[in-house]
Amino acid sequence: MGIYSNKILPWIFEWSLKNKTIDEYRSDLLSEVHGDILEIGFGTGHNLPLYPDNVEKITAIDLNPGNTPLAEKKIKKSDISVDHRIANCENLPFKDNRFDCVVSTFTLCSVSDIHEGLKEIERILKPGGSFLFMEHGLSEENHIQKWQNRLTPLQKKIADGCHLNRDMGQLISIHFRDVEMNAFYEKKLPKIAGYFYKGVARPKQTN
C-alpha cells in the first residue's frame, strides 16, 4: 500500500461515510448483534459509537494500517473494548466456529477474492450465528448496471479496490442460508453508488 492508500484514503473515507441517514441504517443493523462479535473492515471505526449499550467487547480487523490512527481515536473514546488487528478477510486468523456474529458494512465491495472472503466469514461463525451486512452494489436497473460496469475499473483504482457492480445478494446467498435482506436506493446518493443491500444471513454449516 502506498501513500495514497495509507495517508489520503482514510481521510476521504472518514469524511465521505459521515451521513446521518446511513448511521441510522448502521444502528438498526447493529441492534441485532450478540455474543462474541467480529467486525470486518473496521476502517476508521464508524460503527463503534453505534453499537448497542450492552456490547462490551468486539474484535475488529482491517487490511489498511493507514486507518489505524483514526480508528484508535474512536477506540480511546469508547466504552467498548476493541481487539483491533490488521488482517485480511480472505485469511482470517481465527479458529472455526469462533464468533456469534460477524458485522460487515461497506467492506465486501473491496475484498479482492469475494468468494474466499465469504467462505472465511462462514467458517469462523458458530452454527446458528449471524452475518450482519450492509453493502452497496449492483443495481436492479439495467441502465444503472451499465454505468456501474463501465466505472468499476476507475472506482477500483481511486477507492482501494472498491467494486460498484457486485451483486451482493447473489454472492451472499451462494455461501449462506436463510438470507433476510432488503435492497434499496439511498436517495441522497448517486444511483451508481447508492444501491444498498442490508440484512442478516446464517452459516450453512450446522455442526
Ordered DSSP codes for 128-172: EEEEEEEEE---SSHHHHHHHHHHHHHHHHHTTT--S---HHHHH
Spatial separation of the C-alpha atoms in residues 206 and 30, rounded to whole Å: 24
Residue 133 contacts residue 108 (beta carbons within 8 Å): yes
Give 142's pLDDT tier (boundaries 50, 70, 90): very high
- At residue 41, φ and ψ (nearest 5 deg) are 65, 50
Q: Which triple of cell numbers denotes residue 113?
A: 477474492
* Mean pLDDT, rounded, for 61-71: 91
Cα 35 to chain center, whole Å?
A: 19
Is pLDDT above 90 for 12? no
pLDDT score, position 19:
83
Give 92's pLDDT tier (boundaries 50, 70, 90): very high
| Short-list 170, 130, 180, 124, CA closest to 30 | 130
* Mean pLDDT, rounded, for 13-32: 89
Q: Which domains does the chain have, with CATH numbers?
A: 3-202 (3.40.50.150)
Helix locations, the chain, DSSP H: 3, 9-16, 20-30, 68-77, 114-124, 142-158, 168-175
Spatial separation of the C-alpha atoms in residues 27 and 5, rounded to whole Å: 28
Each residue of 40-57: pLDDT tens digit?
A: 999 999 999 999 999 999
